[in-house]
Amino acid sequence: IAAANVTCFVQLPSRSTSARMIPTHAFSTQLQATTTASSSSSTKATVGSVVTIDCDIKPEGDFVPEPLVDLNGKLTFWLGGGNYLPGLHTLVDGMTVGEKLEGMSVDAGWGEKNPELVLTLNKKEMGANLDVTALQVGVQLMLANGMKASVTEVTDETFTIDANPPLAGASYKVQKLELLSVEQAPTQLEYTPGEASSSTTTTIQACTFALGCFWGGELAFMRQKGVVGTKVGYTQGEKIDPTYQEVCSGTTGHTEAIMVYYDPREVSYEALAELAMDRLGENKFLLNQVGGDRGTQYRHGIYYHNDEQKASAEQIIAKFGADCKTECLPAGKFYDAEDYHQQYLLKGGQSARKDDATTIRCYG
């Protein structure tokens, strides 16, 4: 275990929701909360709307990790659509414009610490599965079920491991939070001929891109200023409501795709389309392939939602010549991927802060 990673065939209790290794659930606890509301506004934040808040949120306790999301200033996001602190969505849901919160504590997104994932083991029972002479506090063990655990205590006869996520039990303190505005998210998500973005009833717009495996592309868009929400899913296929396994088989006609909600006052459609093409790199010249992922389910494309997007997308793709294999088609039915795929790399510990330039690792 010189590299601090070993395989140890230790059986742990089955994982409950509070023991997930990725922060898929939101938790929030009110601590001495005070609220004030503006009687002049009746605009209420509801799941599915796009909200803008002004906030100051700081880590609580002794453990202060580098935040993976923005926590201060004006933040605009698709409520209930992931990104930022999961507990932040819970707090804002139901607020009215002008309402203020302070003194709140929100979970860091990893749930409470699960005591069932802390085990004290007898060294003699490890047999040849583990070199117990090299155990020391801080060493990470790779367990047989794929989970990671840290050694927290070592005695002559036993050692204790903790398989809880490092941020389990951690929380953030909301110093202040004010709901500034509530806007409608796009509702017409399929292409309608003759429709321009200016004819829609909401300022927030949608665009859709296929860039191979959707994990890395989604995180790239999450980091882009002006993007208020993202989701991954399957589009351009025939089967209704396909599963990930069905799409991976290459038989449904779908491709993995990313739908992006953006504020055109902050970022242009052209800038997002250019970002998509930049992500593809030389893969834009490959048919049905991005990197090592091959098959029609990984074909790349830009799927326009209105005539303005169509004109821009065609112009951008044309710059790369006739050898470019990126398809340009009307946005069709988009089926949301399974929950565990949504914001996958953020859940896995990669930063989604705006303008973060850290290299995106698609597979860990």
Q: What are the catalytic residues? A: 213
Q: In what order do the strands lie in the sheet with 50-59?
A: 28-36, 100-107, 171-183, 50-59, 72-78
- Adjacent-strand bridge partners of 256: 234
Q: State the Cα–Cα distance between residues 151 and 164, nearest whole angstrom.
A: 11
Q: State the Cα–Cα distance between residues 276 and 221, nearest whole angstrom.
A: 9
First to last CA, the chain: 21
- The upper half-sphere exposure of residue 116, i.e. CA atoms within 13 Å in the direction of its Cβ, equals 10
In the chain, % helix, strand, coil (3-state, to 5) comes to 20, 30, 50
Q: State the Cα–Cα distance between residues 298 and 212, nearest whole angstrom.
A: 4
AA letter at 323: D
